[in-house]
Amino acid sequence: MSKIKSYFLRQGLTRVKVDEYLAQNFYTAGYAGVQIVQSGLGTRVHIFAERPALVIGRRGATIRKLQAVLEKVFGLEGVQVTVSQPDNMELNARVQAFRIARALEMGYHFRRVAMATMRRIMEAGAVGVEIVISGKLSRERARFEKLQAGKVIKTGNVVDVYTDRAIAYAKLPLGIIGVEVRIIRPEAARPDILLRPDSEAAAIAAQLSEEAPEGQGEQRVKEIIEGGEEGGEVQAKS
């Protein structure tokens, strides 16, 4: 294995380990993600959290302990930690998954919590959202509940580019409850392609046939439909 490939594999593995450590230790702070940037001056670790104050701690005590852990346990050099809230918490799947898990641990009914969460996410502009809650929800036998709103895309490039997905766990007396949140971000939205009624499409075709030179009407209609020229575009809605 080349040195370059080995270097990037180590960097990726370190990032995953740091991410898991932060998710476990700052669960109550609404941990949302981390960015790790290494340079000749040291390593900048930027943490996103719903409640940054819980990550910083009183007079910065928690963040100083975290810097020591990142250097000693994970081998990062010259660590500088900064904390901020994510730009739009309602569209951050990890924040929402942790919120649901904390609400379940506080005793709220899972369906009520999930419906309220979906409503907030859709009001924030999401194209779609799916929440799956699994475990011993109301009886001894484990099951799962799946709730959806909007358009949830699960195949194609859109999933990799525009989908945010996260999993959290809630500890309840009956056992562990799993929470999966999948959010299709607003960037995935596309303008609707409208379907013209058959009568309107027929009228357009008849008009084009009359305007075209004799014997070329059908060919003209075909060219416009295939080429999508202005004035004769017949649109379809998928």
For residue 1, give every residue at least 6 positions away whose Cβ sits within 8 Å of its Cβ, in sequence order, or none.
9
Residue 237 confidence class, pLDDT cut points 50, 70, 90: very low
Give the least confident one: 47-51, 154-158, 172-176.
154-158
Residue 91 confidence class, pLDDT cut points 50, 70, 90: very high
Residue 64 confidence class, pLDDT cut points 50, 70, 90: very high
In angstroms, rounded to a whole number, what is the distance separating the alpha carbons of residues 146 and 81? 37
Query: What CATH code would you report for 89-188?
Result: 3.30.1140.32
Quick one: pLDDT at residue 212? 62
Average pLDDT over residues 44-72: 91
Asked whether the beta carbons of 135 and 171 are under 8 A apart, the reply is no
In angstroms, rounded to a whole number, what is the distance separating the alpha carbons of residues 131 and 166? 10
Asked whether the beta carbons of 177 and 144 are under 8 A apart, the reply is no
Q: What's the predicted TM-score (pTM) here? A: 0.68
Residue 104 confidence class, pLDDT cut points 50, 70, 90: very high
Average pLDDT over residues 138-164: 84
Quick one: pLDDT at residue 180? 95
Average pLDDT over residues 168-178: 90
Quick one: pLDDT at residue 232? 42
Average pLDDT over residues 13-24: 91
Note the Cα 116 to chain centre separation in Å: 17
**Mean pLDDT computed over every residue of the chain:** 83
Q: What are phi and psi of 234, to 5 degrees?
A: -100, 110
Q: What is the DSSP string of 134-176?
A: EE-SSSSS-EEEEEEEE----SSHHHHHHEEEEEEEEEETTEE
- Write down the domain spans for the chain: 3-84, 89-188, 192-238
In angstroms, rounded to a whole number, what is the distance separating the alpha carbons of residues 83 and 153? 32
Asked whether the beta carbons of 209 and 218 are under 8 A apart, the reply is yes
Asked whether the beta carbons of 59 and 77 are under 8 A apart, the reply is no
Quick one: pLDDT at residue 225? 56
Quick one: pLDDT at residue 6? 85
Residue 190 confidence class, pLDDT cut points 50, 70, 90: low
Quick one: pLDDT at residue 194? 53
In angstroms, rounded to a whole number, what is the distance separating the alpha carbons of residues 164 and 90? 11
Query: What CATH code would you report for 3-84?
Result: 3.30.300.20
Same topology, domains 3-84 and 89-188? Answer is no
pLDDT: which is higher, 200 or 13: 13
Quick one: pLDDT at residue 134? 92
Q: How many Å from the N-terminal Cα to the C-terminal Cα in the chain?
A: 47
pLDDT: which is higher, 234 or 77: 77
Average pLDDT over residues 212-222: 61
Average pLDDT over residues 162-171: 91
Q: What percent of the chain has pLDDT over 90?
A: 42
Quick one: pLDDT at residue 220? 59
